[in-house]
Structure 1
Amino acid sequence: MTTGVWVLGDQLWTEQAALSSYFPEKKNTPVILIESLKYAQQRPYHRQKLVLIWSAMRHFAEELRQNNWSVTYEIANDFEAPLQAWVKKHKITELRVMNPNDRPFTQIVNNLKLNCQITLVANNHFLWSSSDFQKWAASQKSLIMENFYRSGRKRFQILMEGNQPVGGKWNFDKQNRQPPKGKLNTPEALWFEPDQTTLEVINTVNSLDFPSYGDAEPFRWAVTRSQALQALDFFLKHRLPMFGPYQDAMVTGEETMWHSMLSPYLNIGLLNPMEVIMAAQRAYHQNKLDLNSVEGFIRQVLGWREYLHGVYHYMEADYPESNWFNHTRSLPAFYWNAQKTDMNCLRQVLEQVQRTGYAHHIQRLMVLSNFALISGISPQAIEDWFHGAFIDAHDWVMQTNVIGMGQFADGGILASKPYVASANYINKMSDYCGKCVYQYQERTGEKACPFNLLYWNFLARHREQLKSQGRLNLMLHHLDRISIEEATKINQDAANWLNKIDAAT
C-alpha cells in the first residue's frame, strides 16, 4: 500500500491537510506538483500571475525536498498524463489531495481516470469550513457579512474583551474613508528581486505561444514562505499603523499606499489567515496602534475573505450565471489595453494592473467594477476579466467579489445595494479627475464625465428594480429632480457613448 500526495498550486503550505496527514516516513511518501500548460490557457492570465504560481510551486517543491519529502515536479500539457505515469512508477494505491478551493478544480480531480483510490482531504486553508459556514447561514435570515464577521470575532476571540469588542464597537469603517487631501507620506513598498528560479519562469512565461496579459517584468512579488513572512512583518511595522484612514484613497503614482499586499500569498498558502490575524492583533496590543487601522485590516481577512469563500461554496452551482440586471454588453477593449481609453481614472488603474497585476479594493470596486455595472457590461464578461487580470484572483475570490458584490448580479444575496457612483465619488477619493479630459462636474455635453452620464442613465434604466433596494431611494429621488429635458439629454449622451465603446470593442 503506497499513499501519494498531489499538491495543488494554491495549496503551498507544509501544514496543508493532505501533507499533514500521518505518514510514517516522508521520504517514502511520493509527492507531486504539476504545472499544466492547458490549465494556464483557460483565459488570458496576467503574466505575473503565472510567474507567481509557477515560481512559488517550484520553490515549494524544493522546500519539501529539503524537509525529506520525495518530490516529483512535472511540466506538462495537462494533469492526467503525468499523474498516471507517477502513480504507475511509484505503485500508488491511494492519492490524497486537499479539497480544492475552487469548484472547477474539484471537477477536474473527480474526473481523473487513475488506477488508484483518490481521497479528497478536508480543506484547512480557511478558518471556517464549508459545513461551519452552512451552519451559520442556516441560523440567519440573510447572509449579512457584518453578522458573519461578528460571529468570527466571537468564535476566535479576536479583538475581544470577554463577549464585547475591544473599543466598544465592532466596526470603525467610518474612520477609514478619508479623501487624499494634502501631502501623504506613504511608505515604500517591500519588493523582492527575482532569483534564478523566478528568472527561468519569467523566460518561460514570456515565450508562451498562447494569449496572456500584462507585463511579466519587473516581477517583484514574494515567491517563498520566508519572503511572504517578511512582507507580513514589513506591513505590520510600516503600513498597518496608518492603514485605516486612507484605505479607500486613490492617488496617481501610488500603486500600494498603506495596503498590505498580502492577498496573493494568503490565497496560495504561503501565509495562513490566522497567523496574519494574530500578528495584527499582537501589533495592536504591543505597539498601541490605532484600533480603526487594526480592526479595518482584520475585518478584511477574518470578515470579507472568509465570508466570500463561505458564500462561494454555499451558493448553487449556477450562481456564476447570475445576471439580475440582464446586462449583456461586451467588455470594452480598453480593459485589455489601457491606452484605448481617454478617461484618466480608468487609464491610471488599468495601466497599474497591466504593470503589476494589482489594484487595491476601491480601485477595483469603484472604478473598474462600477464602470462595468453602470455601462451594462455582462457580469460574466467582467468577472472573467478580473479573474485573468489580477495576481490574487481565483474562482472562489472573483465569483463572489465580482458577480455578487461588484455587479449586484445576484440581486442582493451578498451585497445590500449596488455599488454604483458618479464622478463625484471618484473626484472626492482620488486626484484622477483633475488631469482628465472630461469634467467631473458636468452631466451633459461633450466634456461631461462618462461616469455621470452612465450613472444617471443606469438609475433610469433600472428604476423599477432599484426601488426595491431601499438604500438607493435617496438617489432615485435626486433622479426625479432632474428636468425632463436634461434627463433626455443624459440618456442620449449615454447611448452615444456606449455606442462608441461598442464600436471599438
Structure 2
Amino acid sequence: MSIGVWVLGDQLWRQQAALQSCPEPVPVILIESHDWVKQRRYHAQKLVLVWSAMRHFAQELEAAGWPVTYAIAPDFATPLRQWIEAHHIHELRIMQPSDRPFRHLIATLDLPCTIKFLPNNHFLWSEADFQQWAAGRKTLVLEYFYRAGRQRFQILMDGKSPVGGKWNYDAENRQPPPTHLKPPSPLRFSADQITKDVIKTVTQGNFATYGHIEPFYWGVTRAQALQVLTHFIEYRLPQFGPYQDAMVVGEETLWHSLLSPYLNLGLLHPQEVIDAALAAYAERQLPLNSVEGFIRQILGWREYMYGLYHYLGADYCQQNFFQHTQPVPAFFWWSDRTQMNCLHHVLSQIERTGYAHHIQRLMILANFALIAGLSPQAVENWFHSVFIDAYDWVMQTNVLGMGLFADGGRLASKPYAASANYIQRMSNYCQGCAYDPKQRVGDRACPFNFFYWHFLARHREVLSHQGRMSVILKNLDKLSATETAAIQQQVQRWYAENL
C-alpha cells in the first residue's frame, strides 16, 4: 500500500503542493483525457501547449527519480483506477484544482482509494485568505485588494506608504500609440519532437478545434518559460507601462509579457515573476510606472480574479444583468467574415496564435459583445474556447464581470462600453476600415457607434443607478428622435444580416 500523486494539467511545477507533500518520490500519474477537451471547441494551439507541457513535465519528474505513469485515454477514471490498483495506492494526493468543474469531476470519480486534497499553492492569496479579506465588505474593489496585497507582501512599499507616493500609475500608462512604434520581437521557440508528436495527435485526432495549429511558437517547459520571463524583464518591461493599452495593426504583442499561459500552467509562480520585476527595478532603475503597472497585473488583477471566482460561488456563471440573449456572430469564429477592421485584426490574430492582450480582449471583443447584446454565457464560452491562457477561473470573472457587466457591478464599477471613438484614440485600426468611426447611422456607420448608443438607450433606466454613468447618459438627450429611430433600424438590420 502506498501514496500516489495525480498531477493535473495546469499544475506543472515541482514545488506544487501534492508533490511537495511527499518527502521522497512516490508513484505519479498524468492523464490526457480526450473526452474532456471535447467539451468545447478549443484553440488547437491550446491543446498542443497543455499536452506538450504535460509530456515534458512527466519527463522532468522521471529524470528526478519519480515513478511516472503517463496515460492517454478517453476519460480520467479508467487509467486512474488501473494505476491505483497496479501500484496499490491507498491515498491519492491531488493539489486542489483551480477550476470548479474539475473539482466536481473529481468528486464524481468512484476510486478505490482515499483522496487527499492539498491547498493550491500556485497563487499568493489562498481562497481562505481572500474570503477573510472580503468578509464584511460592501464592495470588493480591486484597488483596495491590490493595496492590501502590496502591504501584506511588502512589495514596492516604503514603510506603510507606496514607493513613489502613489499606489498606481494608470494615468501614465494609457498613452495612445505614436506613429512609429518599435517594440521588441517576442521570444519564440521551435517545436521539438515531443511537441511535433502532440501536433500530430491533435491534427489527426477527432477534435473540433479552432484556429491554426502551426506555426507553434510557445514554450512548453519551465526552462523555456523562464527564458520568456528573462526576455520580458530585459527587453519589454522598461517600456511596458506607457503603451500597455495601445493597439497597432501588425504589432500583436507590443511590450506585453506573454507570461499568462505559463503562469496558468504552473510553469511559473507569481512570486518569482514579481521578484524578477522588483530585482530589475532595483538594479537597473527601471521606470516605476512600468514596474508597478506590471506587478499590479500579477499581484492585483490575477490574484483578484482567482479569489473572486471562488468567493462568488457556483451560480456566478449564470449572471445576466442586462438579459442579453443574442448569439455569438459567425465572424467570431471566422475572422474573414467581418469588415470591421478592429475586430478582423484581433480575431485573425487569435486564430493564428491563441493570444490577444488585455485591452484587445476588453475594449474590442468584450466591448462589442456587451453593446451588441450578446449572451454572456455564449461569449464566456467563446473566450474560454479560443484563448491559449483560458481556464474557468480566468474567464468567468474576467468576461462576465469585467467585460460584460453581467453581474450587475459586483466586480466592475461601471460597464466598459465604448464607441468607435475609444478605438480610434487608442489604435490605428480605424485607418482604411470600411466603416467611418465618426458616423452613427448610414451605410458607413461604425457598428461600435450605433450599438453603443442603442445600448445606452435601451438600458438607460438601470444604467442611471450606476453612479459613473450619469454624465454619459446625458448625452442621449442630444440625439434627435429621428437619429434615435435610425439607430434602432440600423441595429435591427445588422442583426438580420449577421446573426
TM-score where L is the length of structure 1: 0.98
Where does 1:459-498 land on structure 2 (aligned, <5 Å)? 459-498=456-495
Deviations 1:413-463 (A, max 9, x none): 000110110000001111110110000001111100000000000000100
Structure 1 Cα separation of the partners of residues 311 and 331 of structure 2: 34
Deviation, 1:22, is 3.0
Residue type at the aligned position of 1:225: R
Deviation, 1:139, is 4.3
Aligned to 1:238: 235
Helix, strand or coil at the partner of 2:175: coil
Asked if residue 106 in structure 1 is aligned to residue 103 in structure 2, the reply is yes
Asked if residue 13 in structure 1 is aligned to residue 13 in structure 2, the reply is yes
| Residue ranges of structure 2 left out of the alignment (5+ in a row) | none
Helix, strand or coil at the partner of 2:18: coil
Aligned to 1:179: 176
Where does 1:419-458 land on structure 2 (aligned, <5 Å)? 419-458=416-455
Aligned to 1:326: 323
Where does 1:376-455 land on structure 2 (aligned, <5 Å)? 376-455=373-452
Q: Is the 8 A contact 1:244 1:292 kept in 2?
A: yes
Deviations 1:167-198 (A, max 9, x none): 00001001001101221111111011110100
Aligned to 1:260: 257
Structure 2 Cα separation of the partners of residues 496 and 168 of structure 1: 52
Aligned to 1:45: 42
Aligned to 1:142: 139
Deviation, 1:141, is 2.3
Residue type at the aligned position of 2:369: A
Where does 1:5-84 land on structure 2 (aligned, <5 Å)? 5-23=5-23, 25-26=24-25, 29-84=26-81
- Aligned CA-pair RMSD: 0.7
Deviations 1:344-396 (A, max 9, x none): 11000000000000000000000011111101100000000000000000000
Asked if residue 273 in structure 1 is aligned to residue 279 in structure 2, the reply is no
Helix, strand or coil at the partner of 1:239: helix
Structure 2 Cα separation of the partners of residues 501 and 377 of structure 1: 12
Structure 2 Cα separation of the partners of residues 363 and 17 of structure 1: 35
Helix, strand or coil at the partner of 2:72: strand
| Residue ranges of structure 1 left out of the alignment (5+ in a row) | none
Structure 1 Cα separation of the partners of residues 12 and 318 of structure 2: 30
Structure 1 Cα separation of the partners of residues 301 and 36 of structure 2: 28
Residue type at the aligned position of 1:229: L
Q: Is the 8 A contact 1:353 1:359 kept in 2?
A: yes
Deviations 1:202-233 (A, max 9, x none): 11111122311001100000100000000000
Residue type at the aligned position of 1:477: K
Aligned to 1:225: 222
Aligned to 1:122: 119
Q: Is the 8 A contact 1:375 1:498 kept in 2?
A: no
Residue type at the aligned position of 1:490: I
Structure 2 Cα separation of the partners of residues 277 and 136 of structure 1: 21
Structure 2 Cα separation of the partners of residues 394 and 462 of structure 1: 31
Aligned to 1:89: 86
Deviation, 1:235, is 0.1
Deviating more after overlay: 134-143 vs 319-328: 134-143
Structure 1 Cα separation of the partners of residues 22 and 56 of structure 2: 24
Helix, strand or coil at the partner of 1:472: helix
Residue type at the aligned position of 1:107: H
Residue type at the aligned position of 1:91: H
Deviation, 1:18, is 0.2
Deviation, 1:266, is 0.2
Helix, strand or coil at the partner of 1:434: coil
Residue type at the aligned position of 1:357: G
Asked if residue 213 in structure 1 is aligned to residue 214 in structure 2, the reply is no
TM-score where L is the length of structure 2: 0.99
Instruction: Name which of 280, 284, 291 aligns with 2:281.
Output: 284
Residue type at the aligned position of 1:439: D
Aligned to 1:298: 295
Greater than 4 Å deviation, 4+ residue runs: none
Deviations 1:114-161 (A, max 9, x none): 110011111111100001000000142210000000000000000001
Aligned to 1:161: 158
Deviation, 1:470, is 1.2
Residue type at the aligned position of 1:179: P
Q: Is the 8 A contact 1:153 1:159 kept in 2?
A: yes
* Identical columns (%): 61
Structure 2 Cα separation of the partners of residues 380 and 442 of structure 1: 31
Helix, strand or coil at the partner of 2:474: helix
Structure 2 Cα separation of the partners of residues 235 and 93 of structure 1: 44
Structure 2 Cα separation of the partners of residues 266 and 385 of structure 1: 21
Residue type at the aligned position of 2:276: A
Helix, strand or coil at the partner of 1:74: strand
Structure 1 Cα separation of the partners of residues 106 and 297 of structure 2: 30
Aligned to 1:356: 353
Residue type at the aligned position of 2:162: P
Residue type at the aligned position of 1:317: A
Deviation, 1:12, is 0.2
Helix, strand or coil at the partner of 1:468: coil
Residue type at the aligned position of 1:75: I
Deviations 1:28-56 (A, max 9, x none): x1000000000010100000000000000
Structure 2 Cα separation of the partners of residues 435 and 83 of structure 1: 56
Residue type at the aligned position of 2:418: A
Residue type at the aligned position of 1:15: Q
Structure 2 Cα separation of the partners of residues 364 and 270 of structure 1: 24
Structure 2 Cα separation of the partners of residues 316 and 54 of structure 1: 29
